Amino acid sequence: MLTMPSLLLRTERLHGNNPAILEGSGDLTWHAWMGRIAQAAGFLRRTLGLEPGERIGILARNSVRQAELTYAAYWAGIVPVPVNFRLAPPEIAEVLEDAGCKVLAIDPHFAPLLDRAPLDAWRTRALLLAPHAETGLASCYDELRNAASPAPAHEPSEDDDAILLYTGGTTGRGKGVRITHRNIVANALQMAHIMGVRPWDSYLHVSPMFHSTDLKATCVTMHGGSHAYLPEFSPAAVLEAIEEHRITIGSLVPTMIIRMLQDPAFGRHDVSSLRIISYGTSPMPAEWIRRTMGAFPSVAMQQVYGLTETSPVLAILDEHDHARALAGREDLLRAGGRPLAGVDVRIIDDAGKAVAPGESGEILVRGPQVANGYHNRPRETREAFKDGWFHTGDVGRLDAEGYLFVLDRKKDMVITGGENVYTSEVEAAIYQHPGVHEVAVIGVPDKRFGEALCAVVVAAPGHSLTPAEIIAHCRGRIGGYKIPRRVSFVDALPKSAMGKILKQELRRSNTVLKSTEEKTA
Amino acid sequence: MLTMPSLLLRTERLHGNNPAILEGSGDLTWHAWMGRIAQAAGFLRRTLGLEPGERIGILARNSVRQAELTYAAYWAGIVPVPVNFRLAPPEIAEVLEDAGCKVLAIDPHFAPLLDRAPLDAWRTRALLLAPHAETGLASCYDELRNAASPAPAHEPSEDDDAILLYTGGTTGRGKGVRITHRNIVANALQMAHIMGVRPWDSYLHVSPMFHSTDLKATCVTMHGGSHAYLPEFSPAAVLEAIEEHRITIGSLVPTMIIRMLQDPAFGRHDVSSLRIISYGTSPMPAEWIRRTMGAFPSVAMQQVYGLTETSPVLAILDEHDHARALAGREDLLRAGGRPLAGVDVRIIDDAGKAVAPGESGEILVRGPQVANGYHNRPRETREAFKDGWFHTGDVGRLDAEGYLFVLDRKKDMVITGGENVYTSEVEAAIYQHPGVHEVAVIGVPDKRFGEALCAVVVAAPGHSLTPAEIIAHCRGRIGGYKIPRRVSFVDALPKSAMGKILKQELRRSNTVLKSTEEKTA
């Protein structure tokens, strides 16, 4: 069956003596780890008294304990709700309330948040994930789990909720996406082939586990591979982990990769085990793709496109697509990729009609990994999940070969002087300038054009740029109306936990607007 | 979606310029072939007037036309019913009637069967698959398809019947297995990973396409690979096809492999393209595994276990299992393999209770590839598909590492002197004798024991054996009550189209029984 208990049962049986967890203190086999997971499930069911279908919040940096608790919840039929730890305490409380969590498992690192309203109300329902003397909280996961007797596997139906993941991230009111057992396992079946996963693979969890991208690792569990968890990203920590654990699959976002390559520690570590870099949330400029491929011997670059609602992967730009791109089709690097087997894509116009091939519009998808809707949000569910299709809210186009170009989040499209401009197109042009390290294009209020395009640029080290240079660079590369009217320079762009540039924050930022120099394009 | 039209649409879009069909007369790309398939679908819907859900019989040796008609049926929502051409005309007519076929597409090779009752009644509903002057039948597929305008894809639900395949083969009254779109595509997702299928793979269809094993090739279509079709097996034809079409994946049964290796043509062909031999229906003795691996450079041996009701693959003994077997665990070669991701296996006793681990009993399975039951057989469907589990009717055991040993078809188990004997165990022991080419063990009526074990042996070329030698060989290898009381020698064993030994025919065969020499074990 396509359920997580079935998947875990099979993995333990087929690969019980394989390492499951790679830790400095000694590896754990699948037999040993599944023993702990079944005990943790017993703890959830009997000690905490949680019933199948009930929810448990998790507020933690990546760790074996978080992974174990998540798998234990799957095993027991409890629905884990990992919460974005970069949210403010009122937002965290809102997610926990919205999800109806009975208990909050919390990393001691975040225990001080329990002193702040309204999260202090969760103090009596909090479970400390690791021992920590100063928190004043008595309950501790390890001891309680060890004291529990193992629970047998719950037998969920394939369509039962497996996990509740909140979208909206650091901005706005989040919605809890109901990801089912079938969703996760179907996407693991699809991704296992893409990654060619084998029992000797090892996966490095760098991106925060509250993000749907972490579900990608399920295909490694499916085939008896192993996992290593990093509590937080730093270039040195990633490089050390790859060397120490002989990591074969790394899931990273472009900014992480770039920071690693720029780090002085790079080159001092043996990274020859790495065979796949799976990256997402944004495309990566060709120059950095080249440098990454040069730096990691025989690594396959795979860009994924997906959303929380798609558990998470919909499309893939695989290593062959990357090779093709570097051989003269650099435009392909701006594609989200091509749909996975089992995924249907449709592009529609504002009237809801399918557009002509190659035309852009809203991306609709369907497939076995498309989630069951939003928790307690019947209206939003009806709007987004219509007639069997999930309406992604992303704008894109599908070319004749099936490459899906995600032009921009619909809301990030700028209408300037009556023309629709997809900011990613403008960014791609500016990225071609050798002095540009990073760029984000946003719309800013403009008396004449309604909105005007503003490029916010981070210069590469050792480069000094002027707005006029950027504007001149754009000429001929993109249509006149797409050339930014304003260019601003900053030291760094605001980013989410996933390394995604937060355009909403840029728009709100007075600093950016104040420093903007206006130029006529 | 997990449907064949969705799969074909994606393959054409992503891999349109890849070869789809490898033919002596020139290859066909996916674009070109999908054009023909859509036309053939138009022909089925408009010219023949078939409605979605209606059935079309196909009686043909393997050919591009049969494949095209099958895909066209999927595309149009029509359900193809490929019929075992080794059945007698009354049996063929029975299948066509049972399935409620509206039309019979027939290979000219089999056209003479239309002169024989009761198949002559199908003459007016017959469509000739290829031109043939002597048949007296006017309708010819190619012309009719070329005259049709292409039909758009039908949009079936994932649970709609995709194909009706009859089990029972050459013995007894067949049952039509309702294989759904989801079944086929889910199994293709599972198998694509096992075979590591890439767009440059090419699959050789040797086993007859009326058998469920042919569905294995769907994972090659899913990833834009190509197909070559052999109308019938001969060692030379297979070797020539591998060389000519640079075949990468061959699906064969053990007897075919053995015949190829023994053929004088072997060694005269370049078979270096072959990277996977997928074999099934019966295990292969270690000695022949060794010879096959020696003869095919860098080939991966993969044994599959499955049934028509499982669309078709349930378990796999992969190349690493084979390596492990040759390194000292030869018993693994007698396993059907380990369950695919998504497959649950349960072993039950006669009372329907789960047996202790390692104990034998009936094999129950569930997973996304388990079919929707039998066509027009509510009682048989209820009996075999119970509480979400398919009851395979096979006897087996599951070891601690997940290896599934298929001991024998339940009905092939012999009860002798009150003891249950799984004949495959006895056969495995006899196969260890260097002078034995093939062996089948059956039960024969016996006054004293109720049934007695009888071994029917084909000696290897140049070997002359006696019953006493075989019996002496068995002593110490297997328990006394498992040693055959009778041993008979024949030149060849009766086999099905799939190369499976037909024990039922052996049991009926007077020749065998007459020539049996009785010995006391």
User: Domain spans of chain A?
Assistant: 4-180, 342-410, 413-518
The mean per-residue pLDDT over the stretch B231-247 comes to 95
Tell me, what DSSP letter sits at residue B51? P
DSSP calls for A93-130: HHHHHHHTEEEEEE-GGGGGGGGSTTGGGGGGGEEESS
Dump pLDDT digits (tens) for A195-241: 999 999 999 999 999 999 999 999 999 999 999 999 999 999 999 99
CA angle A40, A46, A50 (to 5 degrees): 90
Better-scored residue on pLDDT, A136 or B388: B388
B3 vs B444, higher pLDDT: B3
Residue of A197, A342, A402 lying closest to B189 (CB–CB): A342
Q: Taking CB atoms and an 8 Å cutoff, what residues of chain A touch B343?
A: 10
Residue B12 has pLDDT above 90, yes or no: yes
Decide the pairing of beta strands A414-416 and A419-421.
antiparallel
Tell if the CB–CB gap between B188 and A223 is shorter than 8 Å. no
- Name the pLDDT band for B498 (thresholds 50, 70, 90): low
Contacts of A2 (CB under 8 A, 6+ apart): A158, A181, A182, A185, A186, A189, A368, B342, B368
| Angle at CA of residue B31, ends B28 and B34, nearest 5° | 90
Contact A366 B197 (CB under 8 A): no
Neighbours of B520 (CB within 10 A): 6
Residue A241 has a pLDDT of 97
**C-alpha closest to that of B223 among B73, B71, B7:** B7
Q: Cα dist. A74→A95, B178, B451 in Å? A: 20, 32, 50
Kindly state the average pLDDT of the residues A488-500: 81
Query: Which pLDDT score is estimated for B168?
Result: 64
* Dihedral sign (CA B60, B61, B63, B67): positive
Between A322 and B168, where is the model more confident? Answer: A322
- Distance between CA A82 and CA A85 in Å, rounded? 9
So what CATH class is B4-232?
A: alpha beta
Alpha-carbon distance B60 to B128, whole Å? 10
Distances in Å between the alpha carbon of B46 and those of B71, B122, B179, B521?
A: 16, 21, 25, 67
Residues in chain B: 521
- pLDDT above 70 covers what percent of chain A? 93
Cα–Cα nearest to A74, from A99, A56, A95, A49: A56
Residue B227 contacts A, CB cutoff 8 Å: no
Asked if the model's pLDDT at residue B444 lies above 50, the reply is yes
Q: How confident is the model at residue B169 (pLDDT cuts 50, 70, 90)?
A: very low
The rounded distance, in Å, linking the Cα atoms of A250 and A272 is: 12
Work out the mean pLDDT of chain A and round it to a whole number.
Answer: 90
Give the pLDDT confidence of A129-187 residue by residue, as tens digits: 987 766 566 568 999 999 999 999 999 999 999 999 998 643 446 799 999 999 999 99
The pLDDT value recorded for residue B244 is 96
Instruction: Report which of A22, A64, A67 is spatially closest to residue A240, judged by C-alpha positions.
Output: A22
Residue B290 vs residue B182, higher pLDDT = B182
Which among B64, B13, B59, B17 is positioned nearest to B36, based on CA atoms? B64
Asked if B73 has any chain A CB less than 8 Å from its own CB, the reply is: no
Identify the pLDDT of residue B138: 57
Residues of A in contact with B339 (CB under 8 A): 10, 14
Task: Write the CA distances from B441 to A513, B414, B419, B455, integer angstroms.
Answer: 86, 9, 15, 4
Average pLDDT estimate for A237-258? 93
What is the per-residue burial (b if ≥16 Cβ within 10 Å, else e) of A205-238?
bbbbbbbbbbbbbbbbbbbbbbbbbbeebebebb
Cα separation, B96 vs B123, whole angstroms:
13
Q: How far is A44 from chain B (nearest CA, A)?
A: 25
pLDDT of residue B411: 59
What's residue B518's pLDDT? 46
Is 1.10.150.20 the CATH number for B413-518?
A: no
B167 contacts B156 by C-beta, under 8 angstroms: no
Matching CATH number, A4-180, of 3.40.50.11900, 3.40.109.10, 3.40.50.980, 3.40.50.720: 3.40.50.980
The least confident of A61-70, B379-388, B406-415, B473-482 is B406-415
**pLDDT band at residue B332, thresholds of 50, 70 and 90?**
very high
* Predicted pLDDT at A26: 85
Mean pLDDT score, B331-336: 89
A517 pLDDT tier (thresholds 50, 70, 90): very low
Q: Is B16 on the interface with A (CB under 8 A)?
A: yes
User: Does A339 contact B at CB distance below 8 Å?
Assistant: yes
Quick check: A401 and B367 CB within 8 A?
no
What 3-state DSSP class applies to B47? Answer: helix
Residue A516: pLDDT above 50? no
- What pLDDT score was predicted for residue B449? 78
Of the given ranges (A373-387, B75-89, B397-411), which has the lowest mean pLDDT?
Answer: B397-411
pLDDT, tens digit, 9 for 90 and up, residues B92-151: 999 999 999 999 999 999 999 999 989 999 999 999 998 776 656 656 899 999 999 999
Most confident of A491-495, B73-77, B403-407: B73-77
Among the residues of B343-447, which ranges form H helices?
378-384, 423-431
Do the Cβ atoms of B6 and A189 come within 8 Å?
Answer: no
**Min Cα separation B57/chain A (Å):** 28
- Classify each residue of B337-355 as buried b or exposed e, where b means 16 or more C-beta atoms within 10 Å of its C-beta: bbbbbbbbbebbeeeeeee
How many CA atoms lie less than 13 Å away from B113 in the CB half-sphere? 22
Answer whether A14 sits within 8 Å of B196, measured CB to CB.
no
Least confident window among A7-21, B340-354, B472-486? B472-486
Q: Which pLDDT does position B515 carry in this prediction?
A: 43
C-alpha A230/C-alpha A238 separation (Å) is: 8
Tell me the CATH class for A342-410. mainly beta
Which residues on chain A are in Cβ contact (under 8 Å) with B190? Answer: 189
A387 close contact with B: CB closer than 8 A: no
Confidence check: pLDDT of A288 > 50:
yes
Q: Give this complex's ipTM.
A: 0.84
CATH 3.40.50.10800 fits B341-410, yes or no: no
Instruction: Give mean pLDDT, residues A451-466.
Output: 92
Of the candidate ranges A409-413, B42-46, B440-444, the one whose mean pLDDT is the lowest: A409-413
Measured at the alpha carbon of residue B304, what is the angle toward residues B303 and B308, in degrees to the nearest 5?
Answer: 155
Stated pTM of the model: 0.85
Which site among A189, A220, A222, A314 would you substitute to test the B interface, given the most B Cβ atoms closer than 10 Å to its Cβ?
A: A189
Nearest to A14 among B6, B9, B338 (CB): B338
Cis peptide bond upstream of A264, omega within 30: no
> In the predicted model, is pLDDT for residue B520 greater than 80?
no
CA angle A327, A332, A338 (to 5 degrees): 120
Gap between the Cα atoms of B93 and B106, Å rounded: 13
Q: Which helix (H) or strand (E) holds B265?
A: none
- As beta bridge partners, residue A387 has none
Number of residue pairs across A and B with CB atoms under 8 Å? 83
